[in-house]
Amino acid sequence: MHKHHRALGLASPHDGNRDVAAIAEGRPVQPVTLLRPHAAQRAARFFSEKFPGRSIYAVKANPSPDLIQILWDSGITHYDVASIAEVRLVAETLPEATLCFMHPVKAEEAIAEAYHQHGARTFSLDTMDELEKILRATGNAADLNLCVRLRVSSDHSKLSLASKFGAEPGETKALLFAARQAADALGICFHVGSQAMSPAAYSEAMSRVRAAIVEAAVTVDIVDVGGGFPSSYPGMEPPPLEAYFDVIHAAFESLPISYSAELWCEPGRALCAEYASVLVRVEKRRGDQLYINDGAYGALFDAAHIGWRFPVKLVREPDSDARDVAFSFYGPTCDDLDHMAGPFMLPADVQAGDYIEIGMLGAYGCAMRTGFNGFGSDLRVVVEDEPMTSLYADVPAREVARSNVVKL
């Protein structure tokens, strides 16, 4: 890989920092992933310092070992793993990390390996069958943290996670009671969906938690509000994350739970979206359609399949003074599905040979790549500039503004 970096005049991820314009001047033939470790560090410190509980990184959002190490160095010590491959990855990268196996449906062999070989003690479940499986696989261990997942609404989120997992109201009483008998620590968890655009998503879900606790009359030691914390994208500018934290903390404090109960969350997108962007080249222009060298089978899966709009920027010197117009993208494969409708706003004079930076691809973009049709690239370069958009860059200014609010 390093040989290819040298041939293109690029740096490897560990060779220091480069300017995005300078990378484009090197005219790379393949897409280049631009990494911003400082952005991931900032996000991790924000959650570590400001969330009123424990922050657990959802590895599925971006399983890069480099990123996992950055988060660890910045205060994230617990990791939400969803498969045995993720268990092994984190255990190998961070031997001292705490593993939380939060997929509600797991292979019995995966549970056994995670518990016996890698020290995982926290498992989620949403059925009696899964509870029995966990107990068999761990030999009825007495040191388990068992988190019962409730089904909650995804109405406030851009991507639903409401249909696949979660115990229904009529199922929770017996399940919580049985898990309480088997667990060292009993938890309740939920997931409001990805990219929650309102803190109300969490207050409504916490009402569901309250009802489940009251009905089952059990002592709960852990409340895990899951993920869903948003990032900023065109047309999706959420409230400050502090507003989500305030709502969650207030709801947690009002629950009938153990005095020593812990509050957890599982951020994925919010910790890594700003970590990476991708520099692509325009290979052809046809009207308002740009043919670029990455796409639906690369880092732009979400842009193609769920119409996600990512921030874009033409990387050209001198800057274009043409007005911005709406473009759609076609990726490099032979597949008609390799189409990103956008709209992506770029200068009207963009043409073949130009380079475009597509931002906020640290979450899911880097994780969803395939090698379909022989296209793909592992070129990565660390850059020092700010992400194209950020929920963290202006945090000090927001804190000043909040501290100046007069409370009547």
pLDDT of residue 160: 56
**pLDDT value, residue 403:** 38
Confidence of residue 368 (pLDDT cuts 50, 70, 90): confident
Give 3-55 as a DSSP string. Answer: HHHHHTTPPPTTS-EE-HHHHHHT--SS-EEEE-HHHHHHHHHHHHHHSSSEE
pLDDT value of position 169: 86
**Does residue 82 form part of some domain?**
yes
Q: Are residues 346 and 295 in the same domain?
A: yes
Residue 357 located in a structural domain: yes
Span 67-79, average pLDDT: 97
DSSP state letters, 262-298:
EEEE--SHHHHGGGEEEEEEEEEEETTEEEES--TTT
Do 261 and 337 lie in a common domain?
no
pLDDT recorded at residue 163 = 63
Q: Residue 253 sits in a domain of what CATH number?
A: 3.20.20.10
Band of pLDDT at residue 129, cut at 50, 70 and 90 = very high
Domain boundary residue among 221, 253, 272? 272
Over residues 31-41, the mean pLDDT reads 96
pLDDT over threshold 80, residue 155: no
Closest CA to 187 of 148, 237, 159: 148
In the predicted model, is pLDDT for residue 41 greater than 90?
A: yes
Q: What is the CATH number of the domain that holds 18?
A: 2.40.37.10
Q: How high is the pLDDT of residue 2?
A: 35
Q: Are the C-beta atoms of 252 and 207 separated by less than 8 Å?
A: no
Query: Cβ-count burial of 138 within 10 angstroms (0-12 exposed, 13-18 middle, 19+ buried)?
Result: buried
Give the whole-angstrom CA distance, residue 250 versus residue 333: 49
Tell whether 84 and 177 lie within a shared domain: yes
Domain end position, chosen among 232, 251, 272: 272
Q: Considering the domain boundaries, does residue 103 fall inside one? A: yes
Q: In this model, does residue 49 exceed pLDDT 60? A: yes
Checking if the pLDDT of 194 tops 90, the result is no
pLDDT value, residue 43: 97
Confidence (pLDDT) at 10: 43
Strands 122-125 and 98-101: parallel
Q: Is residue 397 part of a domain?
A: no
Where is pLDDT greater, at 408 or 288? 288
- Number of domains composing the chain: 2
The tens digit of pLDDT for each residue in 244-290 reads 999 999 999 999 998 899 999 999 999 999 999 999 999 999 999 99
Are 70 and 197 in the same domain?
A: yes
Q: Do 32 and 48 sit in the same domain of this protein?
A: no
Which of 66 and 401 is assigned the larger pLDDT?
Answer: 66
Report pTM.
Answer: 0.90
Residue 159 has pLDDT above 70, yes or no: no
% of the chain surpassing 70 pLDDT: 90
Residues 172, 126 share a domain: yes
Where do the H-state alpha helices sit in 279-362? Answer: 301-305
Distance CA 389, CA 232 (A): 7
Domain that residue 61 falls in: 37-272
Q: pLDDT averaged over the chain?
A: 89
Residue 338 lies in a domain: yes
Same domain for 361 and 284: yes
pLDDT of residue 370: 83
What pLDDT is attached to residue 1? 34
Question: Percentage of residues in the chain with pLDDT exceeding 90?
Answer: 76
Instruction: Give a yes or no: residue 351 inside a domain.
Output: yes
* Res 8: pLDDT: 38
Let me know if residue 173 belongs to a domain.
Answer: yes
Distance of alpha carbon 37 from alpha carbon 16, whole angstroms: 11
Q: In whole angstroms, how large is the CA radius of gyration of the chain?
A: 22
Pairwise CA distance, residues 72 & 139, whole Å: 31
Could you tell me which of 38, 35, 91, 31 has the C-alpha nearest to residue 62?
35
Query: Given this model, what pLDDT does residue 347 score?
Result: 97
Length of the chain: 408
In a domain, 395, yes or no: no
Compute the average pLDDT of residues 131-148.
Answer: 98
301 and 265 within one domain: no
Residues 30 and 41 reside in one and the same domain: no
**Are residues 204 and 80 part of one domain?**
yes
User: Mean pLDDT, to the nearest integer, of 280-307?
Assistant: 93
Are 106 and 157 found together in one domain? Answer: yes
Answer yes or no: do 249 and 328 share one domain. no
**Which of 266-280, 354-368, 383-397 comes out lowest in average pLDDT?**
383-397
Write out pLDDT tens, residues 173-190: 999 999 999 999 999 999
Report the pLDDT value the prediction gives residue 33, as an integer from 0 to 100. 95
Quick one: CA dihedral 294, 299, 301, 307, positive or negative?
A: negative
Of 272, 304, 326, which residue is a domain's last?
272
Please check the confidence at residue 243 and state whether its pLDDT lies above 50: yes
Grouping H, G, I as helix, E, B as strand and the rest as coil, residue 82 is coil
Token pair listed for 202: 């969490």
Residue 219: pLDDT above 60? Answer: yes
